[in-house]
Amino acid sequence: MWTVNRKLTRVYRSWEKFISNYEIEPYVIRPLIANSWHRCLRMKVDPMSPLDHINLLSPSQINKHIERRKTLIGAAMPFMSHLYNFVKGSETLVCLADDNGIILDVLRDPVIHYQTKHICTEVGSDWSESICGTNSIGTCLFEKKPVQITATEHYCKVLHGLTGSAAPIFSPEGELLGVLSIIGLCNNVHAHTLGMVVAAVKAIENQLVSQKKSYELLLAYKKVTAVIETMDEGLIAIEANRKITQLNSEGAKILQVNREDCIGRSALDVFGQSFPLLEALQNEVEFTDKEFYIETPAGGTRFTSTVKMIRDETGQVTGMMATLREMQSVHKLVNKMVGAQATFTFDDIIGNDPQLHTLIQRAKRVARSSSTILLQGASGTGKEMFAQAIHNASGRRGGPFIVINCGAIPRELVESELFGYEEGAFTGAKKGGRPGKFELASGGTIFLDEIGDMPLDIQASLLRVLQERQVTRIGGQKSIPVNTRVIAATNKNLAEEVEKGNFRLDLYYRLNVINLVIPSLRDRPRDIPYLAQYFVNKISRRLGITPPIIAPDFYECLSRYDWPGNVRELENVIEQALNIVETDILIPEHLPARIYSPQNNRQINPEQKINLKSAEAEIIRDALDKCRWNISRAASTLGIGRNTLYRKIKRYNLCAAKGKRGDQGGM
């Protein structure tokens, strides 16, 4: 039977009165207690409840609450132990509850344990006001401030022999996490008990702030480290006292050192006095992409570096940060950036030859497909231009366009270039591995130039990729799906290469789904004047000169030549001529001897003979029609002035066909 202090008799009688007729005696009951009793009444809390095990959660529910507040428990435990040791022997218990009033941990005297054995104070018991009525834990949670509930101030009679002192615990962000409470027999609890609890809670909150800052620092460090380690560039940080504070794996590889052996050591001890980055630090010199070569125990290494000084608020240099790139990786990056997108479209393919026109129309149709294309044609006919145009006319135009020259890559590198490799696949394999061109081209197009020069064993691997639409990196076990369209090109007769045993028949069938044969320039002589004029305009713009007029005999020489190098050779010849012309007209003497010399030219049929007047007139008419006879635009297209174009229109007696005339641009 609880012994009730006589001082609390009046409170007890007021409690009885409230339980009987719900009346509060304000001169006896504190407002905090009165408000709580009214809440309990509204929540229909039974004031006669024994509070034994009816409020104990299941083990699984208890574990969820503990897991949710494990950070709070970890921070509070040392201070709970200290507080318990201070009050041990005074018939009290120290408990930690979460923001729902669920007890997460409890420390208690054997005496208080015996005295309260009929009340559930175990871990997992619910001490919210809705279950236990007015009490230090539940009421503190509601009020969100320290409270002390004494004896008969408790709403449930079974708690009238106890006094509880509790204070709320808040996170660094202000979130209510839980409550720390000391509960004891009402005769043994003093007024200073609440102050002890408040002090302990303050210490817990400080610990939470400290833990948060430590966690944030650790997280920031891990993020920075992760970013540094995922960089393609090497990175090294050196303090003003020459101590190395950061070196990522790529940087260690470039500098040919062991990362773990460098961190915390002097850069002078690791690299020696001649280390160029130490010189930069000493002289406080910053630079961008400067090339260096240093001797190392492993031999030597060449790299480019960008150095930035680190300064404090006074401007004093406290250290430096440098990024490093192997020269080889710099070259690879440039090559990758150059070959990763397609720039040409079908509008860039110049010519009016019927067979070329038919080929372009067919290429436009098949561009919509995802089937493999084989482009065949002599060197210089524009196979890559066709491949780029097909890519840009397809649904993959927004994806990458990756070019790989099967004949230019060393035999031992072809497979890794195409299919990639995993880390450790071979000596020198990049940490983390590297994707191959098929992976990089996924969602776009891969252009396999000079496919006829691909080694036979690699042909087998390529065939498997084409069949399965997935690649397996060298040294890897996992197959990686790839959504890549393949366009292959060759200047060889692959059917003959199959007969010779140089090319797999099954791969030939896989590649030759759509076959496009690009005609040689000698097979479409009528396109020569168009191409010549196009290259004159294009190259003149690049050289910053006024496009000269092409003389009739200049055309004649071009038309007689056999053009073994095709369009590429023609462009080269025009550029040579434009670099040596000193007048406003191109004549045969501006051509290389192999083209200008009559004995080096083939005979042409009379119907193929190009007359300057008809050729130039046809070119000008075509430009005017395309520009709907807008003189300014047509002159710009032809690379000549408007007055010059007017003279040529008059000279050739040109006029717009019906329906072609548009805005005359000043006519």
Q: How far apart, in whole angstroms, are the C-alpha atoms of residue 518 and residue 373?
A: 13
Spatial CA neighbour of 153 closest among 12, 351, 306, 320: 12
Question: For 599-629, what is each residue's pLDDT tens digit?
Answer: 555 555 554 454 446 667 777 887 788 788 8
Structure tokens at 564: 């073994």
- Count CB-CB contacts under 10 A for residue 614: 14
pLDDT of residue 180: 97
- How many beta carbons lie within 10 A of that of residue 269, not counting itself? 11
Q: Are 359 and 378 in contact (CB under 8 A)?
A: no
647's enclosing H/E stretch is helix 642-651
Residue-range domains of the chain with CATH: 6-211 (3.30.450.40), 232-330 (3.30.450.20), 339-519 (3.40.50.300), 522-651 (1.10.8.60)
Which residues contact residue 378 at a Cβ distance below 8 angstroms, ignoring those fewer than 6 apart? 491, 520, 564, 566
Task: Please report the DSSP string for 354-369 in residue order.
Answer: HHHHHHHHHHHHHHTS
With a cut of 50, list the residues of the chain below it in pLDDT: 1-4, 330-332, 334-336, 338, 607-608, 610-612, 659, 663-664, 666-667
Predicted pLDDT at 5: 56
Kindly provide the b/e burial profile for residues 425-461, where b requires at least 16 CB atoms within 10 angstroms of the residue's own CB: beeebbeebbbbbbbbbbebbbbbbbbbbbeeebbeb
Q: Cα torsion at 67, 73, 75, 81 (round to 10°)?
A: -160
pLDDT at 189: 66
The pTM assigned to this predicted structure is 0.46
Please say whether the beta carbons of 138 and 33 come within 8 A: no
Instruction: Give the pLDDT of residue 438.
Output: 86
**Nearest to residue 28, comparing CAs of 42, 16, 46?**
16
Token pair, residue 193, equals: 């008990």
